[in-house]
Amino acid sequence: QKEVEQNSGPLSVPEGAIASLNCTYSDRGSQSFFWYRQYSGKSPELIMSIYSNGDKEDGRFTAQLNKASQYVSLLIRDSQPSDSATYLCAALIQGAQKLVFGQGTRLTINP
Amino acid sequence: DAGVIQSPRHEVTEMGQEVTLRCKPISGHDYLFWYRQTMMRGLELLIYFNNNVPIDDSGMPEDRFSAKMPNASFSTLKIQPSEPRDSAVYFCASSFRELVPFFGQGTRLTVV
């Protein structure tokens, strides 16, 4: 089992709708989780971090964490074509400064 | 700050040749990471350093891969000899203490 798993997509969402991206992790000791966005041919850039159970909102983005279910999600409200990218979920492995990434979900926002 | 700087941006080399990728982390950052990204395997951590010391190299695929960090402002990842399956985008990233890493622009390596 991979340490961090994501549905690779592609996920297609109409402009203005909510895009929902999901991620599960296997290391129950992981405490810190991150969402990176990667445009084609570019490097990953951090968009959200979450450390405790519940929701964390930042503009149009909401990260959700459920440690009991070992589940992390990212919601993008009012999706824009510029949100089209690959979204990478990452978990910080307990006891090590080691960020492990999922395969990424390719998101396309259709105008 | 200029961010994490990697060179070269693109490298095409023949199988069997030595390849050296270079990275300058963000000034003041004490962690440096080398990642490799492929379509099949995604983004994989190869090795990371803390204060110039290698901490975990369990992701280095083979002895053909080696990494060094001679000082706080420079690191290299070397592949010798290179093989076509090493073709990938190699990212360097740096962070300060336990903060999340910032990535460089990557080096796209093609081994023919």
Report yes or no: A95 at the B interface, CB cutoff 8 Å. no
Share of chain A above pLDDT 70, in %: 98
Please choose, from the candidates A35, A22, A6, A13, the residue with its C-alpha nearest in 3D space to the C-alpha of residue A84: A13
Q: Does A107 touch chain B (CB under 8 A)?
A: no
Distance, C-alpha B66 to centroid of its chain: 10
Task: Look over chain A and give the mean of its residue pLDDT values, rounded to a whole number.
Answer: 92
Q: Is B43 on the interface with A (CB under 8 A)?
A: yes
Write the residue in B45, B55, B106 that is nearest to A43 by C-beta.
B106
Give me the mean pLDDT over the A60-82 stretch.
Answer: 96
pLDDT for res B35:
96
Mean pLDDT of chain B: 94
The tens digit of pLDDT for each residue in B67-90 reads 999 999 999 999 999 999 999 999
SS3 B83: coil
Give CA separation, A48 vs A16, A60, A85, A95, B12, in Å. Answer: 20, 11, 15, 22, 35
Interface test with B, best of A99, A103, A106 (most B CBs within 10 A): A99
Nearest chain B residue to A46 by CA distance is B102
CB-CB: which of B44, B50, B103 is closest to A43? Answer: B103
Residue type, B33: F
pLDDT tens by residue, B49-63: 999 999 999 999 889
B39 touches chain A (CB under 8 A): no
**β-sheet with B74-79: strand ranges across:** B5-7, B19-24, B74-79, B65-71
Nearest CA in chain A to B92: A43
The helix/strand/coil state of B85 is helix
**In what side-by-side order are the strands of the sheet with A71-76?**
A4-6, A19-25, A71-76, A61-66, A54-58
Q: What is the mean pLDDT of residues A12-23?
A: 96
- For residue A58, give the nearest of A34, A38, A82 by alpha carbon: A34
Q: For residue B100, give the nearest of A46, A96, A103 by CB distance.
A: A46
Per-residue pLDDT, B98 = 66
CB atoms within 10 A of CB A1: 6
- Residue A100 with chain B: CB contacts under 8 Å: 45
Residues of chain A found within 8 Å of residue B91, distances taken between Cβ atoms: 43-44
pLDDT tens digits, A95-108? 777 889 999 999 99
